[in-house]
Amino acid sequence: MKNSKGGIYSKYFKRPMDFILSLIAIIVLSPVLLIVAILVRTRLGSPVIFKQERPGLNEMVFTMYKFRTMTDERDKLGVLLPDGIRLTKFGRFLRNSSLDELPELFNILKGDMSIVGPRPLLVKYLQLYNEEQKHRHDAKPGLTGYSQVYGRNSITWEKRFKLDVFYIRNITFFGDLIIIYKTINTVLKKEGIDNKETKKYTMMEFSGTKEE
């Protein structure tokens, strides 16, 4: 089932709005981007930008940019230490404040992402989605999204995917504005940052949905 309510907006206006707003944001936030880049370099090392392949529109893979939040600490055998050890207090601050997400503005400018849409997840999850969940890739992934403002990391994967697909089928201009407003409010209030089960700043790995 394709989105019907926001067809004209999605087809003709969403991309120009993404381009203009991301360009403005990059210009306005350039001092913040520079300061965070310097702090990441001095506190966490190089490279400053973390790059990872993520699936986008129609499951096409692109390279997503974020500020790195973890060190490269390894054990005696050269194996990376667990994320919980490598995620420093400064790294938690970046995630807590969502400052680590700012480089994704360049993904939006390039057209890989949108300001609002389902968050881009790991490529390895593609083979685990059921037919309904696959519809989250019927639109470009977003810097923020419907599931981000209604749970973020505190909800289950299944609930998150349901919210993602609901958004895909109900894209509207005013809906996007509300999500952007709620995103700012959520970040300021630091809501839904940690997962209820793990008490960590990230979701548990998705292992597939058991069909009833």
The string of pLDDT tens digits covering residues 148-185 is 898 777 788 999 999 999 999 999 999 999 999 999 88
pLDDT > 50? residue 4? no
CB atoms within 10 A of CB 205: 10
Average per-residue pLDDT in the chain? 88
Count of residues for the chain? 212
Residue 139 · residue 172 · CB < 8 Å: no
Say if residues 182 and 148 touch (Cβ distance below 8 Å).
no
State the pLDDT at residue 106.
98
Q: Cα(38)–Cα(125) distance, rounded to whole angstroms?
A: 33
Range in 81-95, 134-148, 163-177 the model is least confident about: 81-95
Contacts of 163 (CB under 8 A, 6+ apart): 145, 146, 147, 150, 151, 155
DSSP 78: S
